[in-house]
Amino acid sequence: MSRIMSGFPREKVKIKKSNNAIIDDVEALFSDDTVLIEDVSVVIEDGDYILRTLPNGLTEEYLVVNNGYISGGRSIPSHYQVTVKKNTILHNHVNNQNSSKVTMNSNYSFEELLADDIRRCSDYLLNPNDETGQSLYIDITGRYDSVIENFGSGLYQYFAEQHFYDPDISGESLTHNIKKLHNKMLVYQAKNYPSRNSTKPNDILQTIQNSKVFIVHGHDSEAKIETARVLEKLGLEAIILHEQADLSQTIIEKIEKYSDVAFAVVLYTECDLGRAKGESPEKERFRARQNVVFEHGYLIGKLGRDRVCAIVKGNVDTPGDISGIVYVKMDDDGAWKMRLCKNMKAVGLNVDMNRL
């Protein structure tokens, strides 16, 4: 007998009938909200459930909305094109070769589970500790790795090829990972269950990190300190890279880790001299450090242009490739502080300009 879509691999699933009888080892091909089943000797009815076991041991439950029986013709055999709706997470699973098990009630919907785990992440981030965090980390990585796309991307001690999350992670690395996963879960919730979360996906980062501002700087310590003092007066937390723990990380790894913020300030100061090839030394102009220009572009890409403010102190040549960026002059009268406040306020940060 010819097979439909013969080049695609099948999975073995179970069919749960309304009387709780189970039919094992049914071959199925999943495609979004449709499941192709060619074995018509299996009776599939509306209201049945298809149970799919994922590689991580998690079992998904799909409600049969329409069995989609197709009577065969000359070249196409009879088969089911089942319309389904993903319903609940059911059974125990073992997370990433770790022996800890998570038992789920079959009546506990995925939406409710996700909301509860988001709450647990929020509670942990308010009061981080390794014991609570490691247990939470094992739970959420096992549950959502196969559900949320690229769930492990950007994490420490994560091995993408094996989808292995090291359960022994701890300290700041653990907090960093849970913070990233929390953000991804919130985005997934906002997209798929908007009634649960009215926050737009693009605003999730601000929701989680709405008091942290990353400062990019060169060698001008005075400008750096003054900017940090302004942010602290406004009740914000200034994140300065060299003040953060290294944890044996490279510079780019530290930038990735500590730039989960609501806003960034980039300081262009007179640190280097440069000129075009062929120009005379008299044509040399002050320029910011190369790391400042790099981090400026990186943060625009990560946070969005409206969440990055470039402040120029002195007579500094700014990069031509991002000339569409608005630069704020760090003047002696302090007007730059008000402009910085307005920029942060425009994207939703809670700042009180009267505190300056």
Residues of the chain with CATH 2.40.10: 11-89
8 A C-beta contact, residue 32 and residue 24: no
Report the alpha-carbon distance of residue 154 to residue 33 in Å, rounded: 29
Delimiting residues of CATH 3.40.50.10140 domain(s) in the chain: 209-355
Fold observed for domain 209-355: Rossmann fold (3.40.50)
Name the fold adopted by 11-89: Thrombin, subunit H (2.40.10)
Question: Rounded to an integer, what distance in angstroms lies between the CA atom of residue 331 and that of residue 78?
Answer: 77
Q: Which residues of the chain have pLDDT under 70?
A: 1-7, 56, 73-75, 87-108, 195-210, 247, 320-324
User: What is the per-residue pLDDT across 233-251, written as a single tens digit (0 to 9) for each?
Assistant: 888 888 898 887 776 778 8
Please list, in sequence order, all residues whose beta carbon lies within 8 angstroms of the beta carbon of residue 215, skipping any fewer than 6 positions away: 224, 227, 228, 231, 238, 239, 240, 264, 265, 267
pTM given for the model: 0.45
Over residues 82-131, the pLDDT tens digits come to 988 876 454 443 344 443 334 444 445 778 888 889 999 988 988 889 88
Please provide the size of the chain in residues: 356
pLDDT of residue 74: 65
Looking at residue 196, its pLDDT comes to: 58
Residue 102: strand pairing partners: 93
pLDDT digits (tens, 9 = 90+) for 46-92: 888 899 887 767 788 888 888 888 887 666 788 899 988 876 454 44
- Residue 37 near residue 27, CB atoms below 8 Å: yes
pLDDT value at position 320? 67
8 A C-beta contact, residue 340 and residue 328:
yes
User: Shortest CA distance to 247 belongs to which of 173, 155, 137?
Assistant: 173
